[in-house]
Structure 1
Amino acid sequence: MTSTQALTTLIIPGFQGSESAHWQSWFQSKIENTHRVHQNWDEPILAHWAENIRNAIDKCNGKVWIVAHSFGCLAAILAGIDRYQNIAGAMLVAPADPERFTLGGIKEESELTGSESIRSLIPTHRLPFPTLVIASDNDPWMQASKVQLWSNIWHSEFINLPSAGHINTASGFGPWHAGLTLFENFQLTQSKLAAKPLSPMKKRRLSGKTGQIAKLRFETRKYLGIF
């Protein structure tokens, strides 16, 4: 077993989860030492999802790999910023457009224009851990120009899959051999960064008022009228 394989891989589905036929479930059956982060799949509340992911990172020994899909990508990014020293790398597949969501969840059709979104909470700087963004030019959840822009902002490696939709079961992505190869190649590229697990004493933990998720929780409580 290589050092990259020895690290935990966190599988992070998106809105409404990843069913058994989804490529993420197939990844989970193929990659050793994987753990799926469970959420309330029908309530994509960014603060809750990001905190659950951060807690999952904290439970792992050493660095982790992240394989996220759709809205899960957004939550994984925020959790990763709070635990960036513990992230070996993140593969972000078909990120959802943050403008499609509010702090309280997914927007209704009537809210798609002119209402607040979580866009301002998504980092507009280079991410402090390696990222690979895989997207499609006809994804209904994020326009190709937008995902390319976000990838540039984050300094992510970017791969476009032509006419692949949301890269989910509905668009034909069950067993995804090419995707697994992309992930393994990404791991090899980042292996020097991920080779040595961190000891608990070296883990950087941002919490309280300084943490990304703490700020997100505050904004969410304010948005929902919970004080």
Structure 2
Amino acid sequence: MVAQQTPTYVIVPGLRGHVEDHWQTILAGQLQNSVIVPQVEGDPIQLDARLALLESVVAAQEAPVILVAHSAGVPTTVFWAAQTKLPVAGALLATPPDLTQEMHAPHPTLEQLSDAGWGPVPMDTLPRPSIVVSSTNDPLASAETVAEYAQSWGSTLVEGGEVGHLNPASGYGPWPRAVELLAQLQTLIGMDATVQTKDA
């Protein structure tokens, strides 16, 4: 059963992919069992390519999978959840962007996102437990929008405070709360709350 197995944490980055000083990369280095979804070859905003990579990474895992998504990795995860047949145990979804509003450069425009396959983010209830982290000063989405996402997805909403977009530009870097939230998520899933780290 899921509760008796140690999970594999699949890290789903945003459009910039694997960034050395990003909290997701740092977290992946701390966890005993983790894998980062690789960057798309070519144009990183192509949704179909991102979904295919996530599908292949999850399919390769034997242990229960917990997804750890940030920024564009969150709608990637939600789009993927709406079409995949692969099981996951749960997901930590941090600071999703509002794909209905224009974002400042160097982020893609709404037209570019539409051309790359992005449409309205699915608002169906996610099939497994999830935690959504909001920010009170995220330039890419209001806390109210993120709260609406969490309610529609059936997720537990955690208010992260003034964390910006929770990226290196906002000072993250290390984000120790990620491990705490993974422990909370594992409790929601029915797993042991212990998050296995390399220094444990």
TM-score, normalization by structure 1? 0.71
CA contact (8 A) 1:99 1:118 kept: no
Letter of the structure 1 residue corresponding to residue 189 of structure 2: Q
Deviation for aligned residue 1:20:
1.4
Contact 2:92 2:182 in 1 (8 A): yes
Measured in 1, the distance between the counterparts of 2:89 and 2:154 equals 15
What SS does structure 2 have at the residue aligned with 1:98?
A: coil
SS of alignment partner, residue 6 of structure 1: coil
1:191 Cα deviation after fit = 2.6
**Which amino acid is the alignment partner of residue 17 of structure 2?**
G
Describe the shift of the 1:84–1:160 C-alpha distance in structure 2 as closer, same or farther (beyond 3 A).
Answer: farther
Amino acid at match of 2:151: N
Could you list the runs of 4 or more consecutive aligned residues of structure 1 that deviate by over 4 angstroms after TM superposition? Answer: 2-5
How much has 1:46 moved relative to structure 2? Answer: 1.4
Q: Give the aligned partner of residue 209 of structure 1.
A: none
The amino acid that maps onto 1:22 is H
8 Å Cα contact 1:14/1:70 also seen in 2: yes
Aligned-partner Cα distance in 2 for 1:179–1:97: 22
C-alpha contact (below 8 Å) 1:5/1:32 kept by paired residues: no
Matches within 5 A, 1:175-194: 175-192=174-191
How high is the sequence identity, in percent, across the aligned residues?
Answer: 28
Measured on the aligned residues, the alpha-carbon RMSD in Å equals: 2.8
Shift of 1:82: 3.4
Q: Which 5+ residue runs of structure 2 have no aligned equivalent? A: 193-200
Letter in 1 for 2:94: V
CA distance in 2, matches of 1:96, 1:87: 23
Q: Which deviates more from structure 2 when the two are superposed, residues 12-21 or residues 64-73?
A: 12-21
**Structure 1 residues 52 and 83: CA distance shift in structure 2, 3 A:** same
**Alpha-carbon distance in 1 for matches of 2:71, 2:88:** 19
1:5 to partner: Cα distance: 6.8
Residue 116 of structure 1: CA displacement? 11
Task: Give the secondary structure class of the aligned counterpart of 2:92.
Answer: strand
Q: Secondary structure of 1:26's partner? A: helix
Structure 1: gaps of 5 or more residues: 194-227
TM-score, normalised to structure 2's length? 0.80
| Greater fraction helix | 1
| Higher-Rg member (1/2) | 1
CA deviation profile, 1:77-121 (whole Å, cap 9, x unmatched): 2223334661100000111222258xxxx6438x59xx998343x
Hey, what's the Cα distance between the residues in 2 that align with 1:145 and 1:159?
A: 12
**Closer, same or farther: CA 83–108 of 1 in aligned 2, 3 Å:** closer
Contact 1:92/1:133 (<8 A) preserved? yes
Aligned to 1:80: 81
Letter in 1 for 2:148: L
Q: Which residue of 2 aligns with 1:33?
A: 33
Determine the C-alpha separation between the residues in 2 that align with 1:132 and 1:142: 17
Distance in 2 (alpha carbons) for counterparts of 1:7 and 1:117: 31
